[in-house]
Each structure stands twice: as C-alpha cells, then as structure tokens.
Amino acid sequence: MRGRLIFNANTQLFQAVDDQYSLANVVRLKAEIVEKLGEQRAANLVNTYFEAKRARSIQDEYQKAEADYQNALTPEAKQDTWEQVEQIIRAYDKIPPSFLKKDAAGDILEVTVTGPKGQKRKIAV
C-alpha cells in the first residue's frame, strides 16, 4: 500500500487512499536517493531529515505549551501547564545543536523561562 487508511463514513469501513507521506513512499524515495548518492550518504540524508522533523515537532510543541502556560488564569492551571512545559524542555534539551539557532559568533541562542514558583529554566531557541 502506498498510502494510509481512512474511515469512510458512508460505507462504515476503512479504505486505503494514496498519501505522499506513507512509509512505502519513504522507502521508495530512499531507494532512489541511494542510487544517486550511495548508501551512506543517503542514510545520512534521511536520518538528518527525520532528526530535523523531530526537532521542529518538539519546538512547535514547546511553543504551544508555553502559550498555554502564559494564558493559564489560575495558579493551579499555571502549575499544570508548567509541568507540561518542563516535560517538553527535557525533550528540547536533546535536540542536536546543529538544529538550534545560533548568533553570529556561533553560540546557541537561549532564553530564560520562569515557572509559576519563580523557578528558572534556560532553553535554546
């Protein structure tokens, strides 16, 4: 199958549909890249792509959690959302430095995030 499954409300059954992001398409495209670049360079390229995609996903999730934290109205809600922010920061800390923003000197840019009890955490941007 070169797609994904969707639920068809009319037939009440799942059906296969084409999808450019299916695993079959990824494998097929990797094979094409291997032919052009060789096994090692293709593997490096594919792994870098997936690391970048994961890094972007973590960064997006952090932005959402930070916004939820800033918009929380009660101390209890702030504490709950801060716990989510801290979990994402732990994942964020594992993002390879090559995917983080740097200044002109090549140093990673960081911001300080302050929690509901005054706790401070530095996070790369």
Instruction: Work out the burial of residue 54: count CB atoms within 10 Å of its CB; fewer than 13 is exposed, 13-18 middle, 19 or more buried.
Output: middle
pTM for this one? 0.66
In a domain, 45, yes or no: no
- Please write the tens of the pLDDT for every residue from 29-62: 889 999 999 999 998 988 888 888 888 898 899 8
Instruction: Answer yes or no: do 30 and 73 share one domain.
Output: no
In a domain, 47, yes or no: no
In a domain, 65, yes or no: yes
In a domain, 46, yes or no: no
Instruction: Answer yes or no: do 67 and 21 share one domain.
Output: no
Range of the domain at 14: 1-37
Could you give the number of structural domains in the chain?
2
- Please write the tens of the pLDDT for every residue from 64-88: 988 888 888 888 888 888 888 888 8
Reading the block at residue 61, the tokens are 């999730």
- Between CA 52 and CA 60 the distance in angstroms is 12
